[in-house]
């Protein structure tokens, strides 16, 4: 298993953003769904080793991120696209991706080729020398994806990766995800259930800091069909059905 999460919690003051999540996943594309404030981003930040869990344990790529040596080794093999992509506006596309390749401790000799390949894979070859401040929101998102994949990561974490992408780019991006999923673990946090349906082999649904569903996209579709929940697409109906069931259960308990 590339990602092993055991009863992990994360608190920010009195707020419990992640409340006892346990997950295991191996190579493939893993979709993380959930409403706003469900805890998806916090869970992803913990897996990205950006914030430590308040309790519980993580094991990533067979290493313990609690130790510095383990964390550093994980980070060398990690690609991470945060939800709010920051960028240095004066950098060119190539410089930005190269900068992160160097921060990821890629061997210096391999950096130029890897940067060029990553930029091409997100279809920004023509804009390689453009300053980031001149790019559209969708292009910036692709730059973010390029920096995440430049080191050919074994664990790729993408938080809302398709936000701002046009339909054509989203289709190409899903193909990219499927390609990475053949040899790496890709965790995609998204609101867009069609991304999950098109690219993910496994999906989890979070609500109020907990995993309330874990299975395949087919399982989620089945839950929707069973409940007859509202929605325009099968996965949306499954999504709504699971959340409705959880919330009615909570209401019943309260």
Q: Binding residues for other proteins, how many (CB under 8 A)?
A: 57
Helix (H) or strand (E) holding 29: strand 28-33
| 10-13, long-range: CB < 8 A, 24+ apart | 10/39, 10/42, 10/43, 10/46, 10/51, 10/53, 10/54, 11/54
Q: Please choose, out of 166-174, 189-197, 201-209, 222-230, the segment that lies near other proteins by the rule CB under 8 A.
A: 166-174
Rounded Cα gap, residues 220 and 239, in angstroms: 7
44: closest CA among 80, 86, 16?
A: 80
Tell me: does residue 63 bind other proteins (CB under 8 A).
no
Binding marks (x or -) toward other proteins, 71..110, rule CB under 8 A? -xx-xxxx-x-x-xxxxxxxx---x--xxx-xxxxxxxxx
81: closest CA among 176, 168, 13, 166?
A: 176
Binding marks (x or -) toward other proteins, 113..152, rule CB under 8 A? xx--xx-xxxx------------------x--x-x--xxx
As a whole number of Å, the CA-based R_g of the chain is: 18
Q: How many CB atoms lie within 10 A of CB 22?
A: 14
Nearer to other proteins by Cβ, of 5 and 220: the residue is 5
Nearer to other proteins by Cβ, of 84 and 254: the residue is 84
> Least distance (Å) from other proteins to the CB of residue 48?
5
Nearer to other proteins by Cβ, of 201 and 240: the residue is 201
Q: Residue written as tokens 């995440």? A: 148
> Least distance (Å) from other proteins to the CB of residue 82?
5
Nearer to other proteins by Cβ, of 89 and 248: the residue is 89
Tell me: does residue 49 bind other proteins (CB under 8 A).
yes
> Least distance (Å) from other proteins to the CB of residue 142?
7
Tell me: does residue 9 bind other proteins (CB under 8 A).
no
Q: How far is CA 31 from CA 57, 82, 187, 209, 246, in A?
A: 21, 15, 6, 16, 19
Rounded Cα gap, residues 90 and 113, in angstroms: 22
86: closest CA among 28, 144, 138?
A: 144
Nearer to other proteins by Cβ, of 157 and 205: the residue is 157
> Least distance (Å) from other proteins to the CB of residue 179?
4
Contact 23, 212 (CB under 8 A): no
Strand partners, 207: 210
Q: Please choose, out of 68-76, 190-198, 218-226, 243-251, the segment that lies near other proteins by the rule CB under 8 A.
A: 68-76
> Least distance (Å) from other proteins to the CB of residue 64?
14
Q: Interface with other proteins by CB under 8 A: which residues?
A: 45, 48-50, 68-69, 72-73, 75-78, 80, 82, 84-91, 95, 98-100, 102-111, 113-114, 117-118, 120-123, 142, 145, 147, 150-152, 169, 172-173, 175-176, 178-179
């Amino acid at each position: 298993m590339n990602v092993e999460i055991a009863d992990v919690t994360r608190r920010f003051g009195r707020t419990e953003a992640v409340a006892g999540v346990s997950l295991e996943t191996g190579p493939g594309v893993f979709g993380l769904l959930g409403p706003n404030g469900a805890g998806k981003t916090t869970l992803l930040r913990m897996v990205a080793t950006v914030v430590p869990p308040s309790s519980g344990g993580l094991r990533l790529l067979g290493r313990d991120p609690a130790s510095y040596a383990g964390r550093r080794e994980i980070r060398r093999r990690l690609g991470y696209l945060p939800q709010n992509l920051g960028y240095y506006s004066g950098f060119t596309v190539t410089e930005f991706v190269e900068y992160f390749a160097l921060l990821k401790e890629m061997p210096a000799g391999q950096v130029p080729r890897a940067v060029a390949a990553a930029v091409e894979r997100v279809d920004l070859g023509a804009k390689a020398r453009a300053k980031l401040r001149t790019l559209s929101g969708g292009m910036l998102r692709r730059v973010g994806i390029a920096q995440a994949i430049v080191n050919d990561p074994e664990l790729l974490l993408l938080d809302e990766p398709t936000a701002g992408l046009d339909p054509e780019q989203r289709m190409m991006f899903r193909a990219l995800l499927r390609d990475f999923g053949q040899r790496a673990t890709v965790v995609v946090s998204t609101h867009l259930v069609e991304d999950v349906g098109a690219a993910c082999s496994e999906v989890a649904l979070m609500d109020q800091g907990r995993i309330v569903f874990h299975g395949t996209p087919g399982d989620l579709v089945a839950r929707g069909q069973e409940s007859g929940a509202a929605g325009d697409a099968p996965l949306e109906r499954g999504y709504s059905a699971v959340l409705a069931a959880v919330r009615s259960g909570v209401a019943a308990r309260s």
